[in-house]
Structure 1
Amino acid sequence: MFFLCGSGDISVGQSYVSKNDLISALRVKAVKSRFAFKVSKSTTKLYVAKCFVDGCKWMCRAAIKNEAKRFFVTKYVKVHTCSVVDRARFRKGCTPRYLGQIFVEQFGIIDGIVPRHIASAIRVLLGLKLNYTTAYRALKAAQLFVRGTPEAGYAALPSYLRRVKQSNPGSVTDLVCEANGQFKYCFLSLYASMVGFQYLRRVIVVDGTHLTGKYGGTLLVAAGQDANFQVFPLAFGIVDAENNESWGWFMNKLQQCFSSHHMVIISDRHPSIPNACLNVLPWVTRGICYYHLQGNIVSKSELGAKDLMYLVKGAAYAHTLREYNRCMASIRAAKPALANYLELADPKLWSRVHFPGDRYNIKTSNIAESINSALKRAKGFPIPYLLQFIREKLGVWFAKRREDALSLQTPYSKGVEYLLAIRTHHAETYTVEHIDGWTFNVIGGGGHYIVNLENRSCECGVFQIEKIPCSHAIAASTEANMHISQNVCMTYTKESLYATYARPIYPEPTEDAEEEEDICLPPEVAPTRGRKKKSRYLTWLELSRKRQPKPRKVHKVYSCSLCRVPGHTRPHCVSH
């Protein structure tokens, strides 16, 4: 019986880099074609494989010709003369390494794949049943087959950074290695982000997140917010850990890319960040994230402040000094220790009304946290693939938001137009009294407020903090026959939003134009026991929000099909 197997992936004249590559190709061929082979002869210069069934004419012969280690197929008989039953009887299993390779060759994707997908695909393709462990190892082998080893990633990092600068001229990259060539720091800021920052409000949020790869590390992120209140990534750094040295180096690179004398930096309460700002960027105004402050308060059981967090939030979000003092007085009356803790935390860092710079609506570090969440899937990739994932993500965001900005029919972004619509609705119910020049007294919204349109200020505090007219300013502008657009900051306009994303992000070329052999070795990392944790431990505050009672399921109300009365069904009807 003659039977043709395979798709002809092995042919006479085909070459392989080494004998191991030849053996790998034969094993993949055997698994796909559902047969087994045996080694007839194997030397340093010759390799002969035959079908495991005696008498079958299938065979493959490869030998070294001119090159030192390259094997060339000199004879290949792809037709089996044995029975299918005999081949199935001698068929062997397959290691996860080759199963992963077969999966990649068949489907070409590994993003979003879990072991269950591997097991289902191999069952359909090859008829093999895989347990979870084998499927998991096959998935890891597939990822290794596509992305390479972490060690190869560090070796390819210098070339990748050069290719990024070739495709996106003006981008800032930096690779710092130890004296022995081991990786230490890496920095990337695309030129499109540097150009777009010119049209943003001068507020940068920085944060760090742990990498989950073999060698660990920390990803430092700097981000801003565009005119539509969307996340705008600025720069990325890969360091060994969050400490004074790494944050100082990262801030120094930020200074080279986004230096501004009216800049504000928002971060969590990591002690290395204020030290880096003081040493590298002493002129910037620094603030802390309210959410992290809230988490620190809740974690201190001696404060007993879980029931007073609404007052802490009121003090942090207050637009006026009167409102802030009212919240702090209530806190001091209930928990003096909590009030002292907030005073020691420096209200200039966490309170909006005491903040000395322009913080606008940015009260937390959620901007950088959102980027960390978007990159969560790639935090275990080799470094070049992580940077490539970042570049692809930013390219998609820039292209989509550029088109959205072009399609806007309003003078301002959708987010600003939404705020103006709500505030205009409230302004229509207010009473306005003209005092003098551009000064008005607006009655409504729970009190009366003095609005100065010339200075763009209102006693409610919203106008001067957000740089967007509050409802009182809108009412005063209407009374003065002034268009509202004259009182909105220019960074919120449609033109500013488009200019933010005007410069495209290009993919890096596949080959490096410069043939420099820079050495970058993986860092020394002490091995740890057990499986690495992929996500951080949740705080009590996050756990409490997850454990909130869910709404009860609303059950369908059945009615009797005979009497049409709800509350019972036909078998239990008493009227018939």
Structure 2
Amino acid sequence: MKNPMRKNPPTTEESEAYPHSDESSDSDGVVPEHEIPAQYESSNTPQLPQGNEKNFVYPEGLREYEPIDRDEDDEMDFWSAQLLHVVQNGMVFSSKEELMLGIHSWNIKCNKEMYVVESTTKKWRARCYTTNPKCNINLRTGPPCAWYANARRKTSDSMWQLTRWVDSHNYYGTVVGNSNRCMKSKDIATRILHHIRDDIAFPVKSIQAHIKDRLGVDISYSKGWRARQDAVERIYDSWLTNFRELPTYVDALKKHNPTTVVDWLHEPKGSSDIETFKYVFWAFGPVISAFQYCMPVISVDGTFLKGSYKGKLLITVTKNANNLILRLCFAIVDEETAESWTWFFHHLWEHIARHRGKKLCVISDRHKGIINAVSNLAVWRRNAIHRFCLRHIRSNLMQKFKIKELKELCWDIGSTTQQRKYDHSVDLMKGILPEAWEYLEEIGEDRWTLVHDRNNRRWGTLTTNISESFNHALKGIRMMPIKAIIERTFDKTVEHFLMNNQVAHNCRTRLAPYRYEWYQIRYQNSRHHRLQEYSYVSGRYRVISKIQTNECGGNDYIVDY
């Protein structure tokens, strides 16, 4: 299955800042090998004296090609990942990647640089960077550096062994600017794997600080970003691999969880052999059943993905009886458009909301795609109402009218349940700037205020904070490849039910712990109010609230129960 989203190609290593743009790439690009001096050509090389082969000494320039004097049966010295910078002649590495990591680490420890002269499937050679023709002339001080390293692949077990090794650089000076070319992004990824496993959103600036603290090397932001991406792919596989494995994974998920729903929208341009998906929607069976016992208020929101491919993650959440967030469903789309939101709301109704019936409340920001979907889909128009997040309303107001006093007044107007306080705050706003109240009034007071929320359809919910809180919790998940995202949402759902099962098992009250505590606080407060019955038939009462020590309270209310 092809990936549906555009890739963000990271800048190359060569593009990162370094004097004269000499920084080598992460691929260890091989520069042309130095020509062997004429005196070492086969026609000019001294011949081995007959009968004295054992005493023959190679010319100085060809000693690096001399075969290592080691029997295969000798005890081998293996390189250890716990001691990255410890390298010596004859050491054995399990792979070419380990070989390069070890030699890079050794050079970084010495605050020196190297470049690869030759890299094939059977041999690998490196020299001091000062011998590179591209080297900055300022680094070439003193005699030419004699450091070099040769390695070959062992034919018996495919391991790599250092056959020639000079254990020091003999040129004067260190790395200019403290930005060592030996520090490749793949080497950084190896050093931060444990951090990424603990927190996939481990900040790039923290990666830079970690490398600086441990190795004394400055790395660019782009190199740190690529290192984090490399580490993520090592843990969760590459993005392309995730796309290929996604259909198989989804089929297995549905097979072991029969009530789980996964729906696709494929691009019409896909070939008969390869289908390219545009949208994917998923919801887990236990969540669909649990929603029937949650408050009939859902919060919808979208957030962008941070991986190698662009896309948006759409989510719907609600709260259970214990005021804990329940993740209802998810979708990955290319962009937040009227089309994608309409497709999402259609599946949200078909698989989840229709089982709940009427009197649903949808709370969101004022995204045009969401407004279009809820108002144009007949099932949502008939069975649900749409309310706006008060925090987004306030933010929009402040962007249009940059007056500090309006911010608090907007919140007071939207959050109060008392008509007296509502009218007072509206009058204050009109006195400051009548245009501000006209702007809010055009939105529709029933869309964002509790006073005009008929039949308490919002259940006191003012904002989309529950979905945005979950967005914050998903900060790391958004950096994962797509299969890993679905897998992580499944794991989080399992954790949710395990935790709530334990809470329910230990509950000894008739209400959920949060609701019972909420009830007890209000019950104790109500005991200090004075109550007068006006009409038993119509359920109308007069309530006078308790007078507080600061002389507040003592308010008179008429309540219809």
TM-score range, shorter chain: 0.5 to 0.7
Contact 1:432-1:440 within 8 A present in 2 as well: no
1:450 Cα shift? 4.6
Aligned to 1:264: 361
Distance 2:158 2:420 in 1: 91
Aligned to 1:484: none
Residue ranges of structure 1 left out of the alignment (5+ in a row): 10-20, 63-72, 458-576
Aligned to 1:299: 399
1:365 Cα shift? 1.0
Distance 2:336 2:118 in 1: 58
Aligned to 2:385: 285
1:447 Cα shift? 3.3
List per-residue Cα deviations over 1:436-492 (Å, max 9, x = no partner).
54747454213344556xxxx2xxxxxxxxxxxxxxxxxxxxxxxxxxxxxxxxxxx
- SS of the residue aligned with 1:376? coil
1:379 Cα shift? 1.6
Aligned to 1:248: 342
Alignment of 1:61 onto 2:154: yes
1:199 Cα shift? 0.3
1:187 Cα shift? 1.2
Q: Which of 196, 220, 230 in structure 1 is aligned with 2:314?
A: 220
Aligned to 1:170: 259
Distance 2:75 2:125 in 1: 15
1:332 maps to amino acid: K
1:354 maps to amino acid: H
Task: Say if 1:287 and 1:38 are closer, same or farther in 2 by CA, change over 3 A.
Answer: closer
1:225 Cα shift? 1.3
Q: What is the percent sequence identity of the aligned residues?
A: 24
Query: Equivalences for 1:443-454 in 2 at 5 Å?
Result: 443-445=543-545, 446-451=554-559
Alignment of 1:159 onto 2:256: no
Aligned to 2:40: none
Distance 1:339 1:121 in 2: 51
Distance 1:332 1:50 in 2: 78
- SS of the residue aligned with 1:343? helix
- SS of the residue aligned with 2:479? coil
Contact 1:285-1:356 within 8 A present in 2 as well: no
Query: Equivalences for 1:227-246 in 2 at 5 Å?
Result: 227-246=321-340
1:423 Cα shift? 1.8
Aligned to 2:370: 273
Aligned to 1:206: 300
Contact 2:105-2:182 within 8 A present in 1 as well: no
Contact 2:104-2:183 within 8 A present in 1 as well: no
1:429 maps to amino acid: H
TM-score (normalizing by structure 2): 0.64
Aligned to 2:56: none
1:170 Cα shift? 0.9
Alignment of 1:360 onto 2:448: no
Aligned to 1:550: none
| RMSD over equivalenced CA pairs, Å | 4.1
List per-residue Cα deviations over 1:375-401 (Å, max 9, x = no partner).
112222222222223223333233223
Task: Say if 1:119 and 1:424 are closer, same or farther in 2 by CA, change over 3 A.
Answer: closer
Contact 2:118-2:124 within 8 A present in 1 as well: yes
1:98 Cα shift? 4.7
Aligned to 1:344: 442
1:364 Cα shift? 0.9
List per-residue Cα deviations over 1:175-205 (Å, max 9, x = no partner).
3231224341121211121111010111111
1:123 Cα shift? 9.5
2:187 maps to amino acid: L
List per-residue Cα deviations over 1:316-356 (Å, max 9, x = no partner).
22324454344334433443222222221111211223224
List per-residue Cα deviations over 1:17-43 (Å, max 9, x = no partner).
xxxx9643554576689999999996x
Distance 1:108 1:230 in 2: 28
- SS of the residue aligned with 2:520? helix
1:150 maps to amino acid: W
- SS of the residue aligned with 1:362? coil
Q: Which moved more, 1:399-408 or 1:31-40?
A: 31-40
2:284 maps to amino acid: L
List per-residue Cα deviations over 1:81-123 (Å, max 9, x = no partner).
988xx44569x98562552564478889363545687689889
Contact 1:187-1:235 within 8 A present in 2 as well: yes
Residue ranges of structure 2 left out of the alignment (5+ in a row): 1-69, 82-93, 128-145, 171-179, 546-553
List per-residue Cα deviations over 1:396-417 (Å, max 9, x = no partner).
2332232123222222233323
Contact 2:123-2:150 within 8 A present in 1 as well: no
Distance 1:122 1:447 in 2: 63
TM-score (normalizing by structure 1): 0.62
Q: Which moved more, 1:406-415 or 1:315-324?
A: 315-324
Contact 1:188-1:235 within 8 A present in 2 as well: yes
Distance 2:250 2:105 in 1: 39
Task: Say if 1:431 and 1:143 are closer, same or farther in 2 by CA, change over 3 A.
Answer: closer
Task: Say if 1:384 and 1:40 are closer, same or farther in 2 by CA, change over 3 A.
Answer: closer
Contact 1:186-1:239 within 8 A present in 2 as well: yes
Task: Say if 1:338 and 1:247 are closer, same or farther in 2 by CA, change over 3 A.
Answer: same
Contact 2:311-2:334 within 8 A present in 1 as well: yes
Contact 1:147-1:382 within 8 A present in 2 as well: yes
Distance 2:419 2:243 in 1: 53
Task: Say if 1:430 and 1:38 are closer, same or farther in 2 by CA, change over 3 A.
Answer: closer
- SS of the residue aligned with 1:424? helix
Aligned to 1:479: none
Distance 2:445 2:321 in 1: 27
Distance 2:512 2:369 in 1: 36
List per-residue Cα deviations over 1:488-526 (Å, max 9, x = no partner).
xxxxxxxxxxxxxxxxxxxxxxxxxxxxxxxxxxxxxxx
Alignment of 1:5 onto 2:102: no
Q: Which moved more, 1:442-451 or 1:354-363?
A: 442-451
Distance 1:75 1:311 in 2: 73
Distance 1:123 1:430 in 2: 64
Alignment of 1:149 onto 2:205: no
- SS of the residue aligned with 1:286? strand
Distance 1:38 1:350 in 2: 65
Task: Say if 1:367 and 1:137 are closer, same or farther in 2 by CA, change over 3 A.
Answer: closer
Alignment of 1:190 onto 2:190: no
1:227 Cα shift? 1.4
Distance 2:124 2:365 in 1: 63
1:219 Cα shift? 1.3
1:420 maps to amino acid: Y
Aligned to 1:18: none
Aligned to 2:487: 388
Distance 1:270 1:444 in 2: 42
1:251 Cα shift? 0.3
Contact 2:341-2:373 within 8 A present in 1 as well: yes
